[in-house]
Amino acid sequence: MYSHKKPFTCRFSSLLMAICCLAMAIFAQQVLADDYFNPALLDIDNPQQGKTDLSVYEKGPGQAPGKYQVAIFINNNKIDTRDVTFNLVKDPQGTSTLQPCFTLDELKSLGIKTQKYPQLRAEGQCADLHAIPSASATFRVRNQQLLLSIPQKALGQVPRGYIDPKEFDQGINAGLLNYSVNASQSHARQQGEENSSSQYANLRPGFNIGAWRVRNYSTWNRSTTGHEEEQKFTSVYTYAQRDIVAMKSDVTVGQSTSPSDVFDSVPYTGVELKSDSDMLPD
C-alpha cells in the first residue's frame, strides 16, 4: 500500500525553510569588527617606554601632526611649495583633522587680506583660518597637497607666479667642476712616418660664495708627433655674477658675452646689469 502524502510534506518543508532563510536575511544585523593593532608589539624591545598611542592612525586622519613639505593651492590654483606645520584639530562634528598653522605674515604672503579680519589674531602663533567666513583647509596626505578654499573678497590682487622676495634663497657655498677629456693615438706602419698622439681637455670650474657665483671656461690640448710636442692652455672666460633682488636683475663682472635676442652676441670684458625674468611674475 502506497501513501500519496509524502510529496506534500517535502514541499511544505522546503517552503518553510525558504521562509526562515528570508526572515533571517531581512532581520539579521550586519556585524563588522574594527581593525586593531596591539600597540604592545611596538614595545617589545623597550617595554619601559610605555604604551604607544595609535589613535591618530586608527580613528584620526591617518597622519601624525608635524611639519611637511606641501604644494599649496588656493581655489585650485597652485601658489607655492613650502614647509607647513600641521596640528591636530577637532571640527564641529568632533572629527580630528590636520589643520595648517600659518602666521599672519604667511597668510599675507599667500595674498590673503588679513587686515580685514582682526579675528585671525588668535592666541599663540597660529592664525585662526576659520575667522574668514566660508574658508577651509584640506590636507591631502598622499599627494602632499594643501587645498585652501578662500572667498574671493578675502584675496588681494597678487600677480600669478609672484614670489615674495623674502622667500628667495641664495643657496649654499659650494664648488663644482664639469669636464670632458679626449685622447687619440696613431701608429705608423710605413717607413718614414712617425707615431702621433693628441689629448684635449674641456674644463668648466666654478664656485658659489654667498650671493656670488664665479664661473670659468678653459681648454687644454697637447699634440705629439715623433719627438716634437706642443701643448696649449687657454682661459676662454672668467666672470662673477650675483642677483640684485631689489631691482629684479643680476650683475655680471668679468668676461662674458652680450645677449643675442636681437643682434649677434659680442664678447666683452666689463660689467653688465640686466633684468632677470625668473624674478618677475608670469
Those residues with Cβ within 8 angstroms of residue 49's Cβ, 6 or more apart along the chain or in another chain: 43
CA nearest 135: which of 88, 85, 100?
A: 100
Among 2-11, 86-95, 230-239, name the most confident range. 230-239
Mean pLDDT, to the nearest integer, of 191-204?
89
Distance CA 81, CA 107 (A): 14
Q: How far apart are CA 221 and CA 200, in angstroms?
A: 4
pLDDT at 281: 78
Q: What is the pLDDT of residues 128-141, one digit of tens each?
A: 888 899 999 999 98
Domain range annotation of the chain:
55-157, 174-186+195-279
For the stretch 262-278, pLDDT in tens is 888 888 899 999 988 88
246-255 residue pLDDT tens: 898 999 999 9
In this predicted structure, what is the pLDDT of residue 141?
86
pLDDT of residue 65: 86
- Weakest mean pLDDT among 15-29, 92-106, 108-122, 230-244: 15-29
What tens digit of pLDDT does each residue of 73-107 get?
A: 999 988 888 899 998 887 777 777 889 999 888 88
The correct CATH number of 55-157 out of 3.10.20.410, 3.40.109.10, 3.30.1390.20, 3.30.565.10 is: 3.10.20.410
Kindly tell me the burial class for residue 86, based on how many C-beta atoms sit within 10 Å of its own C-beta (0-12, 13-18, 19 or more).
buried
pLDDT in tens, 60-70: 566 888 899 99
Q: What is the DSSP string of the chain?
A: ---S-HHHHHHHHHHHHHHHHHHHHHHPPP--PPP---GGGGGSS-GGG-----HHHHTS-SS-SEEEEEEEEETTEEEEEEEEEEEEEE-TTS-EEEEEE--HHHHHHTTB-GGG-GGG--SSSS--GGGSTT-EEEEETTTTEEEEE--GGGB----TT---GGG------EEEEEEEEEEEEE---STT---EEEEEEEEEEEEEETTEEEEEEEEEEEEEETTEEEEEEEEEEEEEEEEEGGGTEEEEEEEEE---SSS---EEEEEEEEE-GGGS--
179 versus 157: which is more confidently predicted?
179
